[in-house]
Chain A
Amino acid sequence: MTSSARTMNGGPPAPAALTTAARADRISKAYGRGDAQVVALDEVSVALERGVFTAIMGPSGSGKSTLMHCMAGLDSVDSGQVYVGDIEVTRLDDKRLTRLRRDRIGFVFQAFNLVPTLTALENITLPLDIAGRKADQAWLDTVIDTIGLRQRLEHRPSELSGGQRQRVACARALASRPEIVFADEPTGNLDSRSGAEVLAFLRNSVREMGQTVVTVTHDAVAAAYADLVLFLADGRLVDQIPDPTAEKVLERMKGFELPGITA
């Protein structure tokens, strides 16, 4: 499995490759005004390839969450373009964005992933139900078996443990066979064992089911589950490590803690 992300800071826009699940083309995003202005993304270009588990890392305030939010159509950009598949996200109105999120993107958040009034199964099929689509039963079975919660499908979120809830959230993200799954610190609220279960599940969904997953994390161990780690600092893509190990990632992260090295 080849794992690479073409970084294109300043370079010419690349043609939309079939192997690209999502890409950002020189996107910039700033918050606030005047003196209080914070540049979250500074002309970032990135292409996320299909069938790859990518982790985005960086120190606090590096723009990693903003990058993900922008690529997932949750946040708008000041300039540049974002594509999911062959759709230009940055040109969509709210209605089309909603449909894009519903049909082509899966989400896993750090916390509060499930609607408390719905059962686990209802939560998993929620995006399909909202769309009024019938679930692909065979696929659904595969997903449910992989998360290993078949016995608890009728339970409410309040009756599940934190790890189980995140696994249900992962299943929900995959249920509609999205173009790409965005996971925002999916293990941030979990103990290491539950976290490992969730990450293993995400990696399996890439390796065995051919899904595309992008996760934002600050945990080197979590990043090590990915095929590729991208490093962000001060709103710019500064490095990447293919086939990472926790040690390699940790080593790289240490560099960010000393000012001056990021430049």
Chain B
Amino acid sequence: MMVKVTLRNLAAHKLRLALTALAVILGVAFVAGTLVFTDTTGRRFDDLFARTGQGVAVKVRAKKVIEGADAPAVPASLAGTVARVPGVAQAYGTVNGFAAVVGRNGEAVGGSGPPQLGIGWNPADRDHPVTAGRGPARADEVVIDARTAGKAGLRVGDRARVLVQGPAQDVTVVGVVDAGNLMGATVAAFDEATAQRLLLRPGQFSDITVRAQAGVGETTLRDRIQRALPSPAYEAITGTKMRNENESEVTRILSFFRTFLLVFAVISIFVGGFIIFNTFSMLVAQRSRELALLRAVGASRKQVTRAVLGEAVGVGVVGSTLGLAAGVGLALLLQQLFRASGAEFGGGLTFTYRPVLWSYAVGVVVTVTAAYFPARRAARIPPVAAMRDDVAMPPRSLRIRLIAGSVVTAAGAVLSGLGLGGAPIALLGAGAALVFVGVAMLAPVIGRPVVRVLGAAYPRLFGTPGRLATKNALRNPRRTAATASALMIGLALVSAINVMSSSAKASVAGQVDEVFAADYMVTPVSGVSDPAEAAGAVRAVPGVELVTAAYQGRFKVGTHAQSFLATERPADLVRATRLSLRSGSADLGRDGLLLDQPTATSAKVGVGSVVTARFADGGTERLRVAGVYAKNQLLGPRVLALPAYRAHAAHPAGLGLMINTARAGAATKGAIERALSGHPSLKVQDRSDVKQDAQHSIDQFVTLLTVLLTLSMIIAVLGIINTLALSVIERTREIGLLRAVGTSRRQTRRMIRLESVVIAVFGGLLGTAIGVVFGIAVQHAVADRGLDVLSVPVPTLVAYVVLSAVIGVLAAVWPAWRASRLDVLKAISFE
């Protein structure tokens, strides 16, 4: 019987529940879309890796020395050693490195994500069948993959420039290979000796590829090879393991991307939870008479609770189903977006059970959880309420709310503090969520005075509709608070992000002014390149006084991998980066090392100490601490003598050039740019360019985050619409009366709109307030990691409050229209 009641109610309140379902749909769509998209992308990469390295039984390579850096190369002679192992059909060295093909338009193809691969040509390589031309035979010949050739506009026989970590190479394209869909990666193959010279060192391979004789299993072969290896620094792995490793790298990136998107999906769902809670509270309140009647005729409390929760399950299931469908659409849209930005995705989506499972789990669990408290309240309606005329729920004291809300808020603040203080970052998220719940609980208490102040000017400005609007907003503080809280969450996050980004921009500007003493900086747009050649070109430009080439790398001291900056003339840094030596000298010689003050202090070393560092190639170096400098944001904690780095890296990773001139100006900049015209991946920036560049990327990130948070705000708007629409239904008779005694349709609409604006602005104010507090807290927590200036973007925050007023106006359009169209006669005889 109660099932019938539940079903009838779902049918009877279709419209009221539709908006609630929409909140579920949007949240679930976000989750499902993210999962479907990442599943699909993962599948594409799986296909790619299953295809490449097909038939490789074993790989022999040097063990990785430093996490995050390339593994050391192996000597070419190792290929011969491996080839003699019984069961090996073929063993050949492979060469991998960085090489970018410059297209006819003068720009490098690819980059910004997918790798730009340079490889050694091997006729035995079955992954890359030649479709046009032939393999490279001379130093100035290259073979490229078909997709890259298409993008670069190059054909067999064309001259082209290839960027490597060293001088750029002018070559002839002698062949094109079909590498299939590389998901945006590019391939350029040189003959083996040239590849070794350009990408590694002569006489070295990145690793050895082994093919097995028929009937020899890969693990058997691996074990045999392992025993034959001359040094424990080398290892043999099966082809399967190699492919898995390749995949796991992509899987890691994908899962990061997925987590990133899911965070925002969770925020949307969290906001949706508020809406669901509010809708069910209102539905229960409106139906209290009917529920009391059920109780009066013998339904138990449990049955009433179950009937309401049954409705929640219904909304959850319908919302999840539609959300799943919308999620598929979202995944297609994401795919289009990525395709538009240059990524190569084949058509079609991959479906696994996962999005389906999660969509229903999330949709139903969230709906039922949010409806649980209203359902329990429904059961507490006394049967006698059926007989009463005024069906209002008994007003409850806000004191319990005040206490509980304060406790929850405080707990959230403590958790957030721990999260900021170095504990797992998830604690910060949990803490923030708790703060939101806590403040939402407190909101009815805070709301009264705030709404009163906000609405104070209403009667004067808008007359009676204004006065009624304020009173209506104050009428049910819990409802107003829950509605405003939904909007609060999105605005709090956006405000916090704005405070942080504004602080970051101010900090960057301050740091650039403080330490960037060069007139120009030259940096690669993508990939890495050896700045030595570019440095030579710039030195010849008249007016250029000082050119400092900088490199970056990692070494390992003890068990810790540490990053360093390397340069050939450290003394120049004094002028280019305002290096301020506290002790020692900047004369590094062959093996000198500079440390900044905090690093030297924490490592308990000083001028004259010797540090033993292990480099990525496996070699060690005894480094002499030559000097200690004041903390410098541009240099970072360590500066190493370039010869020491070069000894362990044939192609040190270039960071860029710093240029000091006699007279900085457009003419000088133009001259430098002309001198670098052969280096299309390098860009010349002056100080304000550097600032703008950094600020631009911060802005882009903020835009991305804001877009992702927009969905949560849309859900909040749905919440306001829902609350207003339900309020209009609840106040049908009152609105009818107002209309009967002469309130015009316009005045009725204005009354609803003004109420909406009060609620939205209340949410906006709460949100910006919390956001500013969060933003300031984060800035303080990471002040010593570069975010040293606090900047609160007041105009932006004011704009967000104004935006919330606009949101209020928009959210009221439909409910206000409905209210103004109520049939007066029907309205006054409602119920």
Report which A residues bind B (CB closer than 8 A). 69, 74-75, 94-95, 98-99, 101-103, 107, 109, 112-118, 122, 126-127, 129-132, 158, 172
Contact A131 B742, CB 8 Å, known A109-B828, A117-B472: yes
Q: Can you give 19 A-B contacts (C-beta < 8 A)?
A: A69-B825, A74-B740, A98-B743, A107-B740, A107-B741, A109-B740, A112-B733, A112-B737, A112-B828, A113-B737, A114-B737, A116-B734, A117-B471, A117-B474, A118-B467, A130-B741, A130-B743, A131-B742, A172-B741
Query: Whose C-beta in chain A lies nearest to the C-beta of B734?
Result: A115
Which of A94, A114, A129, A130 is close to B745, meaning CB atoms less than 8 Å apart? A94
A74 touches B824 (CB 8 A): yes
Interface assignment of B738: CB less than 8 Å from any CB of chain A: yes
A129 touches B463 (CB 8 A): yes
B742 touches A117 (CB 8 A): no
B745 touches A75 (CB 8 A): no
- The CA of A103 and the CA of B743, in the complex, are separated in Å by 11
Please name all residues of chain B whose beta carbon is closer than 8 Å to the beta carbon of A75 when the two chains form the complex: 825
Interface assignment of B38: CB less than 8 Å from any CB of chain A: no
Determine how close the nearest CB of chain B comes to the CB of A176; give it in whole angstroms.
8
Determine how close the nearest CB of chain A comes to the CB of B744; give it in whole angstroms.
5
A74 touches B737 (CB 8 A): no
- Which among A99, A101, A117, A127 has the greatest number of chain B C-beta atoms within 10 A? A117
- The CA of A5 and the CA of B413, in the complex, are separated in Å by 77
A98 touches B745 (CB 8 A): yes
Determine how close the nearest CB of chain B comes to the CB of A14; give it in whole angstroms.
28
Within 414-473 of B, Cβ neighbours of A (below 8 Å) are at 463-465, 467-468, 471-472
Determine how close the nearest CB of chain A comes to the CB of B338; give it in whole angstroms.
53
Interface assignment of B739: CB less than 8 Å from any CB of chain A: yes
Which of A69, A107, A117, A130 is close to B747, meaning CB atoms less than 8 Å apart? A130
- Kindly supply a per-residue 1/0 record for chain B positions 296-331, scoring 1 wherever the CB is within 8 Å of any chain A CB and 0 otherwise: 000000000000000000000000000000000000
Interface assignment of B475: CB less than 8 Å from any CB of chain A: yes
- The CA of A29 and the CA of B415, in the complex, are separated in Å by 69
Within 373-392 of B, Cβ neighbours of A (below 8 Å) are at 390
Please name all residues of chain B whose beta carbon is closer than 8 Å to the beta carbon of A129 when the two chains form the complex: 463-464, 467
Please name all residues of chain A whose beta carbon is closer than 8 Å to the beta carbon of B734 when the two chains form the complex: 112, 115-116
- Kindly supply a per-residue 1/0 record for chain B positions 707-749, scoring 1 wherever the CB is within 8 Å of any chain A CB and 0 otherwise: 0000000000000000000000000011001111111110100
- Which among A98, A113, A118 has the greatest number of chain B C-beta atoms within 10 A? A98
Please name all residues of chain A whose beta carbon is closer than 8 Å to the beta carbon of B739 when the two chains form the complex: 98
- The CA of A132 and the CA of B747, in the complex, are separated in Å by 12
Interface residues on chain B, size class: 20 to 34
- Which among B467, B468, B742 has the greatest number of chain A C-beta atoms within 10 A? B742
Determine how close the nearest CB of chain A comes to the CB of B505; give it in whole angstroms.
47
Please name all residues of chain A whose beta carbon is closer than 8 Å to the beta carbon of B824 when the two chains form the complex: 74
Query: Whose C-beta in chain B lies nearest to the C-beta of A122?
Result: B467
- The CA of A127 and the CA of B463, in the complex, are separated in Å by 12
Please name all residues of chain A whose beta carbon is closer than 8 Å to the beta carbon of B472 when the two chains form the complex: 117
Query: 10 tightest A-B contacts by CB?
Result: A102-B742, A117-B471, A129-B464, A98-B744, A101-B742, A127-B741, A112-B733, A127-B742, A130-B464, A74-B825
A118 touches B471 (CB 8 A): yes
Please name all residues of chain B whose beta carbon is closer than 8 Å to the beta carbon of A172 when the two chains form the complex: 741
- The CA of A99 and the CA of B745, in the complex, are separated in Å by 11
Determine how close the nearest CB of chain B comes to the CB of A215; give it in whole angstroms.
16
- Beyond the given pairs A94-B745, A112-B733, 4 more chain A to chain B contacts, judged by CB atoms under 8 angstroms and listed by A's residue number, are A95-B744, A98-B743, A98-B745, A172-B741
- The CA of A94 and the CA of B824, in the complex, are separated in Å by 11
- The CA of A131 and the CA of B742, in the complex, are separated in Å by 8
B733 touches A126 (CB 8 A): no
- The CA of A130 and the CA of B390, in the complex, are separated in Å by 27
- Which among B390, B740, B747, B825 has the greatest number of chain A C-beta atoms within 10 A? B740
- The CA of A127 and the CA of B747, in the complex, are separated in Å by 12
A132 touches B745 (CB 8 A): no
Determine how close the nearest CB of chain B comes to the CB of A56; give it in whole angstroms.
17
- The CA of A219 and the CA of B129, in the complex, are separated in Å by 102
Determine how close the nearest CB of chain B comes to the CB of A115; give it in whole angstroms.
6
A101 touches B463 (CB 8 A): no
- The CA of A109 and the CA of B824, in the complex, are separated in Å by 12
Please name all residues of chain A whose beta carbon is closer than 8 Å to the beta carbon of B468 when the two chains form the complex: 115, 117-118
- The CA of A125 and the CA of B740, in the complex, are separated in Å by 14
- The CA of A75 and the CA of B825, in the complex, are separated in Å by 7
Please name all residues of chain A whose beta carbon is closer than 8 Å to the beta carbon of B471 when the two chains form the complex: 117-118
- The CA of A158 and the CA of B824, in the complex, are separated in Å by 23
B740 touches A132 (CB 8 A): no
A101 touches B745 (CB 8 A): no
B463 touches A132 (CB 8 A): yes
B741 touches A101 (CB 8 A): yes
A101 touches B825 (CB 8 A): no
- The CA of A116 and the CA of B472, in the complex, are separated in Å by 10
Please name all residues of chain B whose beta carbon is closer than 8 Å to the beta carbon of A114 when the two chains form the complex: 737
Determine how close the nearest CB of chain A comes to the CB of B167; give it in whole angstroms.
81
B742 touches A99 (CB 8 A): yes
Which of B474, B475, B740, B747 is close to A101, meaning CB atoms less than 8 Å apart? B740
Please name all residues of chain B whose beta carbon is closer than 8 Å to the beta carbon of A102 when the two chains form the complex: 741-744
Determine how close the nearest CB of chain A comes to the CB of B387; give it in whole angstroms.
15
- The CA of A113 and the CA of B463, in the complex, are separated in Å by 21
Determine how close the nearest CB of chain B comes to the CB of A181; give it in whole angstroms.
12
Within 656-711 of B, Cβ neighbours of A (below 8 Å) are at none
- The CA of A109 and the CA of B474, in the complex, are separated in Å by 27
Determine how close the nearest CB of chain B comes to the CB of A95; give it in whole angstroms.
6
- Kindly supply a per-residue 1/0 record for chain B positions 240-256, scoring 1 wherever the CB is within 8 Å of any chain A CB and 0 otherwise: 00000000000000000
- The CA of A95 and the CA of B743, in the complex, are separated in Å by 10
- The CA of A236 and the CA of B741, in the complex, are separated in Å by 28
- The CA of A247 and the CA of B103, in the complex, are separated in Å by 108
Determine how close the nearest CB of chain A comes to the CB of B99; give it in whole angstroms.
75
Please name all residues of chain B whose beta carbon is closer than 8 Å to the beta carbon of A109 when the two chains form the complex: 737, 740, 828
B737 touches A115 (CB 8 A): yes
Please name all residues of chain B whose beta carbon is closer than 8 Å to the beta carbon of A122 when the two chains form the complex: 467
Determine how close the nearest CB of chain A comes to the CB of B710; give it in whole angstroms.
35
Query: Whose C-beta in chain A lies nearest to the C-beta of B746?
Result: A95
Determine how close the nearest CB of chain A comes to the CB of B395; give it in whole angstroms.
11
- The CA of A98 and the CA of B733, in the complex, are separated in Å by 17
Please name all residues of chain A whose beta carbon is closer than 8 Å to the beta carbon of B745 when the two chains form the complex: 94-95, 98
Please name all residues of chain A whose beta carbon is closer than 8 Å to the beta carbon of B475 when the two chains form the complex: 117
Query: Whose C-beta in chain B lies nearest to the C-beta of A173?
Result: B741
B738 touches A115 (CB 8 A): yes
- The CA of A158 and the CA of B394, in the complex, are separated in Å by 13
- Which among A75, A112, A114 has the greatest number of chain B C-beta atoms within 10 A? A112
Determine how close the nearest CB of chain A comes to the CB of B344; give it in whole angstroms.
60
Query: Whose C-beta in chain B lies nearest to the C-beta of A104?
Result: B742
- The CA of A252 and the CA of B551, in the complex, are separated in Å by 111
- The CA of A31 and the CA of B465, in the complex, are separated in Å by 34
Please name all residues of chain A whose beta carbon is closer than 8 Å to the beta carbon of B744 when the two chains form the complex: 95, 98-99, 102, 130
- The CA of A112 and the CA of B744, in the complex, are separated in Å by 19
Determine how close the nearest CB of chain A comes to the CB of B393; give it in whole angstroms.
14
Determine how close the nearest CB of chain A comes to the CB of B770; give it in whole angstroms.
30
- The CA of A81 and the CA of B474, in the complex, are separated in Å by 44
Query: Whose C-beta in chain A lies nearest to the C-beta of B474?
Result: A117
Within 733-768 of B, Cβ neighbours of A (below 8 Å) are at 733-734, 737-745, 747
Query: Whose C-beta in chain B lies nearest to the C-beta of A125?
Result: B464
Please name all residues of chain B whose beta carbon is closer than 8 Å to the beta carbon of A112 when the two chains form the complex: 733-734, 737, 828
- The CA of A75 and the CA of B468, in the complex, are separated in Å by 26
Please name all residues of chain A whose beta carbon is closer than 8 Å to the beta carbon of B747 when the two chains form the complex: 130
Which of A94, A99, A116, A126 is close to B464, meaning CB atoms less than 8 Å apart? A126
Determine how close the nearest CB of chain A comes to the CB of B448; give it in whole angstroms.
14
Within 556-586 of B, Cβ neighbours of A (below 8 Å) are at none
Please name all residues of chain A whose beta carbon is closer than 8 Å to the beta carbon of B467 when the two chains form the complex: 118, 122, 129
- The CA of A158 and the CA of B388, in the complex, are separated in Å by 14
Query: Whose C-beta in chain A lies nearest to the C-beta of B465?
Result: A130
Please name all residues of chain B whose beta carbon is closer than 8 Å to the beta carbon of A101 when the two chains form the complex: 740-742
Within 166-213 of B, Cβ neighbours of A (below 8 Å) are at none
Please name all residues of chain B whose beta carbon is closer than 8 Å to the beta carbon of A113 when the two chains form the complex: 737
- The CA of A129 and the CA of B466, in the complex, are separated in Å by 11
Query: Whose C-beta in chain B lies nearest to the C-beta of A76?
Result: B825
Query: Whose C-beta in chain B lies nearest to the C-beta of A95?
Result: B744
